[in-house]
Amino acid sequence: MPELTPLQKAFAELDPSSHADRWDSLYRDSFHPWDRQGPSLALADLLLQRPDLVPPSQEHDTRGSPLRSETGAVLRRSALIPGCGLGHDALLLASFGYDVWALDVSSKGIELAKENEKQAAQTDVYQSPEGIERGTIHWVVADFFADDWTKGAGAEGSGKFDLIFDYTPARKFLCALPVDMRPRWAQRMASLLAHKGRLVCLEFPSGKPLTEHGPPWGVNPEVYEALLSAPGEPVHYDASGDGSVVSLPSPKPRADSIHRLSLIKPLRTHPAGTAEDGSVRDFISVWSW
């Protein structure tokens, strides 16, 4: 088995109840090797090249002007980024016109994200597409699995979101969680996704065996399908430890099942998601009700 990385050692045999404090201490020690120093390339390409797969951030009238409320404010759809880290993807989605809730358990991480936002305002890195008015970012220090932070958040304050992005070049959210917490992740995503909303997952690290320690823990497309088709239900993995899911009889249809609309091999991703020959190992999947 490969030697543990410093990040893996930081979480080895650590009780999940202490994970939030550990993430915060790593940020305070300026140790965040998971940060990619920019937004997800795969997400940026999806927004530009496959707008049919994501809810538009803003509706426009026949003249191309954004629709506004009675008070004159632009009507925007909401986005959620759990485990937002230094906030690169939040800045990207805001530039595309979404009102973004950027969530992290680390107060230091959010502090650094706000500094990143100020620095980005001095550059033209996050330019909005023509006809799109930039959205607002709500920086939130909270536990993803808690309910208090959702009050008044999201689509019309409903606590649900039109677009959720799971990965971020920060802490790669699902694969940063202990494997036995994955069903809770799926159940929570189902509770937060708005009607006709979209959950976008950048699946990384694809194909890494579960016998190798995390974070990040290995994932593959069938894991996401097993989790989201039956949110909250346990997933059974092959005894070999390669991360494959043991096939079970098809369950009865469930009202809370989230269905995959598309599975894409992105043309670009960060170096961590590429093989030695330069080929992309990541997948990007889009899910809805």
> Could you report the per-residue pLDDT of 27-62, keeping only the tens digit for each?
999 998 888 889 999 999 999 999 999 999 998 888
CA 262 from chain center: how many Å? 16
Number of Cβ within a 10 Å radius of residue 217: 23
* pLDDT higher than threshold 60 for residue 241: yes
153-199 per-position pLDDT tens digit: 999 999 999 999 998 544 558 998 999 999 999 999 999 999 999 99
Sequence letter at residue 278: G
Instruction: Quote the pTM value.
Output: 0.94
Pairing state between β 137-141 and 161-166: unpaired
pLDDT in the model for residue 168: 56
The helix (H) or strand (E) run that includes residue 188 is: helix 182-192
70-84 per-position pLDDT tens digit: 888 889 999 999 999
Helix (H, G, I), strand (E, B) or coil at 165: strand
- Lay out the sheet containing 137-141: strands in order across: 137-141, 99-104, 78-82, 161-166, 193-203, 283-288, 259-264
Question: What are the boundaries of each domain within the chain?
Answer: 35-58+68-288
* pLDDT higher than threshold 70 for residue 117: yes
pLDDT in the model for residue 44: 95
Contact between 223 and 235 (Cβ < 8 Å): yes
Share of the chain above pLDDT 90, in %: 67
Give the Cα separation of 18 and 87 in Å (integer).
Answer: 23
Instruction: Please name the fold of domain 35-58+68-288.
Output: Rossmann fold (3.40.50)
* pLDDT higher than threshold 80 for residue 108: yes
Mean pLDDT rounded to a whole number for the chain: 91
